[in-house]
Amino acid sequence: MKIKPEQLTKHLSDGLAPIYFAFGPEILLVEQSLSNIKRASLGCGFADRVRFDIDGNFAWDKIFAEIANTSLFAPQRVIECHFSTGKIGVKGSKALCEITESLPSDILLIISAGKLDMAQQKSKWFKLLEKKGVVLQHWEVQSDHLVGWILNHMEQLNLVADKEVANAIAYCTEGNLLASMQEIQKLQIAYPDGKIDTQDYLKQIDQQSHYSVFGLIDAALKGDAAKVNKVFNSLLDEATPLIVIISSLYREIKALSIMAVELQHNQSIDAILTKHRVWQKRKPLITSALKTHPYQRLQKLTLSLGRIDRSLKGMDNLNVSDELRTVLITLAGKTQWTQ
């Protein structure tokens, strides 16, 4: 059967299924489910565990041998399989179906994989796992749900769920769940009583981002061209990958473009900022940028970033660092393009 990841805790409290299959593009979310399943399995007496990493050339005889290696006195065991890809081949599909159909009761089979396409989810082996065990599909946490995800995990670690802190973490980690979780764990260590000093934490975040990609973008939004040049040069000296700057800038300008369209439809700036969960401290920056740049100019900046990205990949001939600097200075309002 298929259950949602958030239903797993309740499911495990009712007992273990013989097979679990967790998959999805967010490794952290998949690993969290696997950890919960393995913790529950220990409580049910599954003391031994063996892991196999499986690709298209895997020798499935290893798993059959492990299953056969049993005795009256052997403890219950977990066989954990990680698929490096959902393409396990005809041989793999046949072997997995055979294992699934004849799995001994003293073995718990746990399988994990990354993102699977629809063809893989319609395969015979997938359907059989769904019939015989429990399938958990994990989805990417979208940007508009990230703050809520962070707040939930703060609560799970007995931290007071502070929305301003959660917004700051979401902004600085750019949706990277592992980085977000690490930041939450740092808070747990820094504030063992769970009460976060919000202003102190925001000050730390501000200092950390001063000469980061975030600081670079904020300087551009603030209209501080001198600081843009200073931070950009610093990032170049530190050999910061240009793709990181390009992708971060693209996300920012894309978000601004969406807000600019909503502004054209006479929605109020306050309502727009609230809808897009803009961090309180950044609201003046975003408001200023929306007043400075009409939608058409933001679109031109997006197109320029597209050419810069293609040039970085060898598909165009622009000077990447020079053109990227021009986009940043334009975002700072110091270069006016004809519309």
Q: Which region, left, alpha or beta, applies to residue 266 given φ > 0 means left and ψ of -120 to 50 means alpha? A: left
With contact defined as beta carbons under 8 Å apart, do 84 and 55 qualify?
Answer: yes
pLDDT digits (tens, 9 = 90+) for 119-140: 899 999 999 999 999 999 998 7
Higher pLDDT, 62 or 74: 62
The predicted model gives 165-182 an average pLDDT of 79
**266-280 per-position pLDDT tens digit:** 888 888 888 887 777
Query: Is 105 in the same domain as 27?
Result: yes
- Residue whose tokens read 């952290």: 28
> Does the pLDDT at position 72 exceed 60?
no
- Are 198 and 317 in the same domain? no
- Mean residue pLDDT of the chain comes to 87
- Look at residue 339 and tell me if it is in a domain: no
- Whether residue 117 is contained in a domain is answered as yes
Query: Quick one: 187 and 279 in the same domain?
Result: no
Domain boundary among the residues 181, 208, 235 is at 208
The domain spanning residue 275 has which CATH number? 1.20.272.10
Q: Do residues 188 and 277 both lie within one domain?
A: no
Same domain, 177 and 218: no
pTM above 0.75, yes or no: no
Displacement of CA 211 from its chain's centroid (Å) = 24
CA gap 231, 29 in Å, rounded: 34
Whether 125 and 48 share a structural domain? yes
For position 338, what pLDDT does the model report? 41
Residue 210's pLDDT is 53
Instruction: Tally the domains of the chain.
Output: 3
Structural domain containing residue 221? 213-331
Domain shared by 22 and 132, yes or no: yes
pLDDT score recorded for residue 212? 76
CA-nearest of 317, 335, 331, 328 to 235 is 328
Same domain, 126 and 195: no
Quick one: 133 and 15 in the same domain? yes
Query: Is residue 143 very low, low, confident or very high in pLDDT (cuts 50, 70, 90)?
Result: low
Residue 53 lies in a domain: yes
**Structure tokens given for 233:** 């040069």
Mean pLDDT, to the nearest integer, of 174-183?
Answer: 77
Cβ proximity of 194 and 230 under 8 Å: no
Where a domain ends, among 173, 208, 243?
Answer: 208
Q: Is there a single domain that holds both residue 128 and residue 153?
A: no
Tokens representing residue 324 in the block: 């990227």
* Domain boundary, last residue among 137, 160, 184: 137
